[in-house]
């Protein structure tokens, strides 16, 4: 395969309304630049017509490639697969619903030419529903407190130089979240800003359960601080309850307070904190368990328009 300038990766899960539109819009944008390019659709277990539409496009345009998973593995594994199979000197990944405008691509390429190895896009404003805005705000606030400041409202819209892509492709880590891994590499980064619009077609593929999964994965992959937090909370609890015990004993001896009044708040506080700490440990334990199995992050069932087609 000839060396291509730009690979454009779009993961898709049941996006039949968006595939053709995405292809046309990207073509329009890229044809106006000097760069050669490939478009890689990663079908993440769609049950609608997304696969067929993408396959038809592959039939008429050999610059379009399709990777199809055996089932739904998730957006992050789809992005990893796209990057592994890409051949561009730089790789751009974005959501197929174009909630962030793909018209930013020429600007990203300009920054890449200046020597930036990573170009990311942060959201200026979200023109979305209250729930999505509130959960996103809450997630990024927690992540920022845990030390992942550079992730703040970053879109899944990146340009990565080949040097970064090759580095990411060598990581053996499974279940890694793509965003945190990109920032972890630490290469010279340029941030662009864009408004996030609502979807034109289709619905979000992130159910509440999927959002919680992704958020907890992101947290455990980015930082081990919550584990230390558990220790600090337990330590603070130990001191507090120790002092409370002394106060309680003294007050009881002096017959100033009935025992039952003290027990309720202390008891519920203790149980709540212990369960919280155990829960955080559970998430890390689950991650360690998943990593220790060394299962692949995705299974590719079919590849179209690649040199090594399956
Ligand atoms: N997506 C995917 N697999 C999934 C969930 C989402 O490939 O399990 C794709 C989806 O088709 C879209 C992108 O990831 O191209 C972002 O998903 P979505 O727009 O539903 O997320 P939101 O923008 O609501 O956070
Ligand atoms: Mg979206």
Residue 237 burial class via C-beta count within 10 angstroms: exposed 0-12, middle 13-18, buried 19 and up? middle
pLDDT tens digits along 108-163: 999 999 999 999 999 887 777 888 788 878 887 777 777 666 677 788 999 999 99
Q: Is there a contact between 112 and 90 (Cβ–Cβ < 8 Å)?
A: yes
Alpha carbons 92 and 101: distance in angstroms, whole number = 13
Range in 85-94, 186-195, 219-228 with the lowest mean pLDDT: 219-228
**155-209 confidence digits (pLDDT tens):** 899 999 999 999 999 887 655 578 888 988 999 999 999 998 888 888 888 888 8
Q: Would you say residue 2 has pLDDT above 70?
A: no
Q: Is the dihedral of CA 206, 19, 295, 146 positive or negative?
A: negative
Distance CA 69, CA 263 (A): 55
* 83 has a pLDDT exceeding 90: yes
Going by alpha carbons, the residue nearest to atom 13 of ligand 1 is 95
Query: Which band of pLDDT confidence, cut at 50, 70 and 90, is reported for residue 229?
Result: confident
Average pLDDT, the chain: 87
CA 271 – ligand 2 centroid, Å? 39
Euclidean distance between CA atoms 157 and 9, whole angstroms:
10
Long-range contacts of 238-245 (CB under 8 A, 24+ apart): 241/266, 241/270
Q: Are 55 and 287 in contact (CB under 8 A)?
A: no
- Look at 30-34, 72-76, 110-114, 211-215 and tell me which has the smallest mean pLDDT: 211-215
| Pocket flag, ligand 1, residue 95 (CB < 6 Å) | yes
**How far lies 127's CA from each of 124, 133, 199, in Å?**
10, 8, 10
The alpha carbon of 206 and the centre of ligand 1 are apart by a number of angstroms equal to 7
Q: How far apart are CA 285 and CA 182, in angstroms?
A: 24
* Cα 305 from Cα 149, distance rounded (Å): 39
């Amino acid at each position: 395969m000839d060396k291509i300038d730009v690979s454009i990766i779009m993961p898709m899960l049941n996006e039949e309304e968006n595939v053709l539109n995405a292809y046309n819009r990207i073509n329009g944008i890229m044809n106006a630049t000097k760069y050669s390019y490939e478009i890689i659709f990663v079908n993440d277990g769609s049950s609608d017509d997304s696969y067929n539409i993408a396959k038809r496009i592959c039939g008429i345009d050999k610059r379009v490639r399709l990777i199809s998973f055996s089932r739904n593995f998730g957006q992050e594994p789809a992005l990893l697969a796209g990057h592994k199979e890409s051949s561009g000197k730089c790789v751009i990944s974005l959501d197929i619903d174009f909630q962030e405008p793909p018209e930013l691509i020429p600007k990203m390429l300009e920054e890449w030419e200046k020597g930036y190895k990573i170009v990311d896009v942060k959201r200026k404003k979200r023109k979305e529903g209250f729930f999505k805005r509130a959960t996103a705000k809450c997630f990024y606030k927690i992540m920022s407190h845990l030390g992942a400041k550079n992730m703040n409202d970053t879109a899944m819209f990146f340009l990565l130089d080949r040097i970064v892509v090759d580095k990411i492709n060598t990581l053996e880590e499974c279940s890694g979240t793509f965003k945190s891994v990109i920032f972890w590499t630490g290469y010279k980064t340029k941030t662009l800003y864009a408004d996030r619009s609502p979807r034109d077609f289709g619905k979000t593929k992130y159910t509440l359960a999927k959002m919680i999964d992704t958020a907890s994965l992101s947290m455990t992959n980015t930082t081990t601080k919550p584990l230390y937090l558990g220790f600090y909370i337990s330590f603070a609890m130990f001191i507090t309850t120790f002092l409370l015990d002394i106060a309680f004993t003294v007050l009881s001896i002096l017959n100033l307070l009935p025992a039952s009044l003290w027990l309720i708040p202390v008891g519920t506080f203790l149980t709540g904190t212990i369960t919280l700490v155990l829960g955080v440990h559970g998430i890390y334990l689950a991650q360690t368990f998943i990593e220790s199995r060394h299962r692949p992050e995705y299974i590719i069932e079919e590849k179209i328009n690649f040199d090594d087609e399956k």
